Amino acid sequence: MDSLPALDRDASPEALPDSPAAEAPTFLDRLFDAGLLVRTGVDGLYGRSGAFESVVEALDRLVSRLGADDKAEVMRFPPGMSRSTFERSGYLKGFPHLAGTVHSFCGNEADHARLLACVEAGKDWTEKQAATDIVLTPAACYPLYPTAAARGPLPQGGLLFDLQSYCFRHEPSLEPTRMQLFRMREYVRMGSPDEVLAFREVWLDRGTKMMAGLGLPLAVDLANDPFFGRAGKMLANNQRNQNLKFELNVPVNSVEKPTACLSFNYHQDHFGTTWGLTQADGSVAHTACVGFGLERITLALLRHHGLDLDAWPADVRATLWG
Amino acid sequence: MDSLPALDRDASPEALPDSPAAEAPTFLDRLFDAGLLVRTGVDGLYGRSGAFESVVEALDRLVSRLGADDKAEVMRFPPGMSRSTFERSGYLKGFPHLAGTVHSFCGNEADHARLLACVEAGKDWTEKQAATDIVLTPAACYPLYPTAAARGPLPQGGLLFDLQSYCFRHEPSLEPTRMQLFRMREYVRMGSPDEVLAFREVWLDRGTKMMAGLGLPLAVDLANDPFFGRAGKMLANNQRNQNLKFELNVPVNSVEKPTACLSFNYHQDHFGTTWGLTQADGSVAHTACVGFGLERITLALLRHHGLDLDAWPADVRATLWG
C-alpha cells in the first residue's frame, strides 16, 4: 500500500468548528432542534428531514458520477437478507452482537389474546416470537456474494457491482454518526488479487478527492472491524497487520475520535471461498469493496459547513447540486 | 363517497397480456430469468436490477410531481421503528401475524461459542436472541403519528406529510406482488374530517389518472385490511361498511385476483386518539393517507408493457422519464 495518498493524519482542533462548551447542546441535540433528524425514542434510530435526505441523495448521485466510467452492474437489495445465507457468510463468527434477526408471531387466536394481554400489562410479549427466514442486512454487499457465485465462474477480467441499502447494526449510541439503521453505498469488485487491489487503490484516490472536494478535513487510516470478544482481538490484529482495511476519517463528534465515512476493504479470498466464487481460470476469486456511509458523510458536512444547507460554501453546493 | 370516479370494475381477460399456459414459466420466473428480480432463496425477498430500480425511482418522482403543488413536508424514516411506539399504535391488535420484531445477541463469549456450535450443527441458534427496541416498519406512516403529535396541536388547516420507506410484512408468497420487504410511498393528511376526506378525494382522482396515464387497466374498489382471526372479520366488515378503505387494483398475477397498487385510507380519529393528536381548536385530529406500492406498480408495468423497458409505449416512457 505504498501508493496510499499522503494525507494529514492529525486533524487539528481547528478542523472542528463550533465545538460546543460543556453545557451547550450536543451535536445530536442541535440536529433535532434544527429538524434535520427526528427523535423516535430509540438511540441511533432517527427520522430524516427533507433537507437531510436531499444531501444523502446528492451524495448518492455524486458517487455514481465518480464511478460512471467503470460501468458497474447496478443491483439493489432490500434491508433484509436470507437467514441461511447470513449464517453461511461467517458474520456471526465476528459480529454476533451487531446482527439483527427478524422474528414473527406464528400463533393462533388464543396466543394472540395472550400476546395482547402481555402488551396491555406492559410485560414482555416478544418471547413467543419465532425467527423468520430473514436477517437484517449488516453491510450492503452481504447479499451479493451468493448471487454472483450462482452465476458461475467470473468472466475474464472479473466483475464490478454497484450497491446501496439500509443496513442494521445493534449498537445503540448517542453519537449521531452511529445509527442502528443507516444507508451504505458500495462498489464491489470481484476478480484476481491484482484486479481487486487495483480497484481499491483507485477508490482510495477517488474517495479522498471527493471528500476533500466537499471541504472536509480528513485522514486515511489503517483500520479493523469491531470483532467480538477476545478471539476478535486477534482477528482485528491480523486484519491490521495485513493492511486489509482502510478508513477515511473525518472529525464529526470529536477530533480525538474521528468518524469513518468511507471504508476500503480487501477481503482476500474470504467470500470467494465461502461462496465457491471462482475466477475464469477456476481459481478462487478475491473481492474488495469501497463503502460510503451516506448518513455519516451527510453529518460530516452538517458539522463542518453548518446546519443551514443554503449557507454551505458555493463550491460544495455546486458539487452536490450542480 | 358518491364522487368516486366511475371505473371499469371488471378487468377483462384481454387486460392481462401473455397469460402463461399451465406449463409455462410463471411471471416470477420470467422476472428472475430477465434479471429484473434476483433470487435470495426466500419467498417474497428479492434483489432488484438497475432496470427495475429505474422504474421505482421514476414512479417515486412522478408521485412527487403530482403532489408538488401541495407542498407536503418531506420526512423519511428508516425501515425500523421504535418498539414502544409500535406497541402503542395498535398494530398488534389487527395484524400480529404480519409484524417483524428485531432481535439481537446479548450474550458473553461462552454464549457466543454455543451460538456458533448451533449454527455449525444446523440447529436453531435464534432462541437466545433477545428483542431489541426496534420493530420493522409495517407501513410508511406508522412512525409519523407520534412525531406529529409531539409538536403539539395541528395548525389551522392541518398538516400534510410526504413519506417513503421500506416496509416489512411477514407473508411469504410466490406472488411477486406480495413481497416481505417492499417500498411504500405515502402522503398523509392530518386535520378535520372534511379536510382529510377532501384530501382522499383529490388523490383518488390523481392516482386513477396517474395509473391510467401509465397505460394500466384498473378498477377502484372498496377494500379492507387483512385483519387477523375471527374478530378481524368483524373489523374488516366495519371498515367496509364505513367506506374507510379503497384500493386501486390492477390485474398482475391474475385477472381474478387483481393487485392493490394504491390505497386510499381514512383512519377517522384512530391515530388522533391513539397519539393525542389534536386540531387547532383542541378537538381530536382525523387522518387519511394515500399509499403507493412502488414495487407493485413497477410489476404492473412490467406485466402489461413487457419486460423490456426500452420497448414500453413511448407515452409511458415519456411520463416516467420524459
Task: Specify the pLDDT at position B3.
Answer: 36
Task: Specify the pLDDT at position A10.
Answer: 40
A48:B103 CB<8 A: no
Cβ–Cβ contact B125 with A under 8 A = yes
pLDDT at B1 over 50: no
pLDDT (mean) for A212-238: 96
Residues B238-291 have pLDDT tens digits of 999 999 999 999 999 999 999 999 999 999 999 999 999 999 999 999 999 999
Cβ–Cβ contact B46 with A under 8 A = yes
Residue A146's closest chain B neighbor by CA? B40
Of A267, A259, A258, A214, whose CA–CA distance to A238 is shortest?
A267
Cβ–Cβ contact A129 with B under 8 A = yes
pLDDT (mean) for A216-220: 98
pLDDT at B24 over 90: no
Worst-scoring range by mean pLDDT, A19-28, A71-80, A275-284? Answer: A19-28
Yes or no: is domain B4-100+138-321 CATH 3.30.930.10? Answer: yes
Q: Judging by beta carbons within 10 Å of its beta carbon (0-12, 13-18, 19+), is residue A143 exposed, middle or buried?
A: buried
The reported pTM is: 0.94
Cβ–Cβ contact A173 with B under 8 A = no
pLDDT at B107 over 70: yes
Using a CB-CB cut-off of 8 Å, the residues of chain A touching B53 are 74, 76
Ordered alpha helix ranges (H), chain A? 27-33, 50-67, 83-89, 91-94, 109-121, 144-149, 193-213, 229-241, 270-275, 294-305, 314-321
DSSP A295: H
Worst-scoring range by mean pLDDT, A47-56, A231-240, A294-303, B208-217? Answer: A231-240
pLDDT at B75 over 90: yes
Which among A103, A133, A147 has CB closest to B103? A103
Task: Specify the pLDDT at position B5.
Answer: 35
pLDDT (mean) for B86-111: 97
B82:A124 CB<8 A: no
Task: Specify the pLDDT at position A22.
Answer: 58
Rounded Cα gap, residues A160 and A199, in angstroms: 9
- Give this complex's ipTM: 0.93
Residue B96's closest chain A neighbor by CA? A105
Tally of CB atoms within 10 A around A200: 20
Domain boundaries, chain A: 4-100+138-321, 101-135
In which band, very low, low, confident or very high, does the pLDDT at A4 lie, cut at 50, 70 and 90? very low
Cell of B46: 428479492
pLDDT at B302 over 60: yes
pLDDT at A17 over 80: no
B129:A131 CB<8 A: yes
B85:A40 CB<8 A: yes
Tell me the shortest Cα–Cα distance from B248 to chain A, in angstroms.
Answer: 25
In which band, very low, low, confident or very high, does the pLDDT at B20 lie, cut at 50, 70 and 90? low
Tell me the shortest Cα–Cα distance from B90 to chain A, in angstroms.
Answer: 10
Task: Specify the pLDDT at position A6.
Answer: 34
B 259-298 residues with CB < 8 A to A: none
Using a CB-CB cut-off of 8 Å, the residues of chain B touching A129 are 101, 103, 131
Cell of B93: 391488535
* Residue where the block lists cell 497487520: A241
Average pLDDT, chain A: 94
